[in-house]
Amino acid sequence: MALCSAKYRCEVVSIEAAVQLIAASYLRHGYYWYVTGSIPVGKSPEKVDQKLIAKYGIDLTEWQRTRRRKQGLANAHYLRHDRWFILLLTDGHHAVRQPSAKGGEGEHLKDCRRFPIRVGSYSISYRRSGVAPADNKPIKWHAHVRLSAGRYAEMKAYFDSIAVHRSPENLASEFAKIEFARYAPIRRQLLNVLRRVNQRRQQQSYQTLPYSVLNLRRVPVKIYAENQADSGPIPGSD
């Protein structure tokens, strides 16, 4: 796995690593605007990395990012897994938003507070907290990671089809095969699936399954390959 530049790390080892970096770091630091893309087969992902990082001045130190923010300028981050990539941007003026010298338009950015980021089977958005703040304090926001509507529908349909046709042990084994990261919204989705399975089994007087079959604890994943461990500051902070 190659480095994206001499200092800047951008290539992550898995889809789950990309989700974790976006949800736990980038969104928390205000990188709400984004554009995603796919590198065509035949093009070198490493060369595309270098081109985009150089074009948009992404390889900056934390001090440089802080200075830009105080000047009202935006900061950008870039990450890639395999041939999928994403550019993320904070509010403010930035080359990503500017038309090119050849007359083309700037990147067509979306706001993840309105349009969730699709990463593999995951959907990532930034949402207001459902709890009203006390003493006129600012409303809190948080990253919201759930399974995409299509993947969730597939999961529900599959377990609905086997709910009363498998033994408890077999069903427990099927739930154990679910490898999606256990973020809170995903935990709720999994619990809904399990409740539906148990509801159908109760209707047939079959043994139900305990919540423990879901393994609801989220385990943080490694972000970068070992050969990137000491290649510079971890992106995601201002």
> Rounded to whole angstroms, how far apart are CA atoms 114 and 63?
30
The vertex-112 CA angle with 145 and 132, nearest 5°, equals 70
What tokens appear for 172 in the block?
Answer: 């427990």
The vertex-210 CA angle with 208 and 212, nearest 5°, equals 155
Kindly give the confidence (pLDDT) of every residue in the chain, 238 residues in length, as a single tens digit, with 9 standing for 90 and above. 444 655 799 999 999 999 999 999 999 999 999 999 999 999 999 999 999 999 999 999 999 999 999 999 999 999 999 999 999 999 999 988 876 544 444 568 999 999 999 999 999 999 987 766 677 777 788 999 999 999 999 999 999 999 999 999 999 999 999 999 999 999 999 999 999 999 999 999 999 999 999 999 999 999 997 665 443 334 433 3
> Rounded to whole angstroms, how far apart are CA atoms 143 and 133?
17
What pLDDT shows up at residue 235? 43
What tokens appear for 238 in the block?
Answer: 């201002």
Half-sphere exposure of 214 (CA within 13 A, CB side): 22
What pLDDT shows up at residue 129? 79
What pLDDT shows up at residue 236? 39
What pLDDT shows up at residue 140? 85
Q: In what order do the strands lie in the sheet with 84-89?
A: 76-81, 84-89, 33-38, 110-111
Residue 213's H or E segment, with its range, is none
What pLDDT shows up at residue 227? 60
Contacts of 39 (CB under 8 A, 6+ apart): 45, 48, 80, 83, 84, 85
What pLDDT shows up at residue 136? 72
Please give the distance of CA 126 from its chain centroid, rounded to a whole number: 11
What pLDDT shows up at residue 234? 43
